Amino acid sequence: MIPLHFDNGLIPVIAQDAETNEVLMLAYANEEAVKLTIATGQAHYFSRSRKRLWKKGEESGHTQRVVRILTDCDEDALIYQIEQEGAACHLGYRSCFFRTIDGAFIAEKVFNPGEVYANKQE
Amino acid sequence: MIPLHFDNGLIPVIAQDAETNEVLMLAYANEEAVKLTIATGQAHYFSRSRKRLWKKGEESGHTQRVVRILTDCDEDALIYQIEQEGAACHLGYRSCFFRTIDGAFIAEKVFNPGEVYANKQE
* pLDDT tens-digit map of B59-113: 999 999 999 999 999 999 999 999 999 999 999 999 999 999 999 999 999 999 9
Residue of B nearest to A105 (CA): B70
How many residue pairs bridge chain A and chain B with CB atoms within 8 Å of each other? 100
- Whether A69 is covered by a domain: the verdict is yes
Q: Which domain holds residue B78?
A: 11-110
- Whether A17 is covered by a domain: the verdict is yes
- Whether B116 is covered by a domain: the verdict is no
- Whether B118 is covered by a domain: the verdict is no
CA A32 to chain CA centroid, nearest Å = 15
* ipTM of the prediction: 0.94
- Whether B89 is covered by a domain: the verdict is yes
Question: What does the pLDDT read at residue B117?
Answer: 83
- Whether A72 is covered by a domain: the verdict is yes
> Which pTM was predicted?
0.95
Please tell me the distance from the alpha carbon of residue B56 to that of residue B110, in angstroms, as a whole number.
17
- Whether B122 is covered by a domain: the verdict is no
Does B20 touch chain A if contact means CB atoms closer than 8 Å? Answer: yes
Q: Report how far apart, in Å, the C-alpha atoms of B46 and of each of B5, B31, B72, B99 are.
A: 15, 9, 20, 24
Give pLDDT tens digits for B22-61.
Answer: 999 999 999 999 999 999 999 999 999 999 999 999 999 9
Please tell me the distance from the alpha carbon of residue A77 to that of residue B85, in angstroms, as a whole number.
22
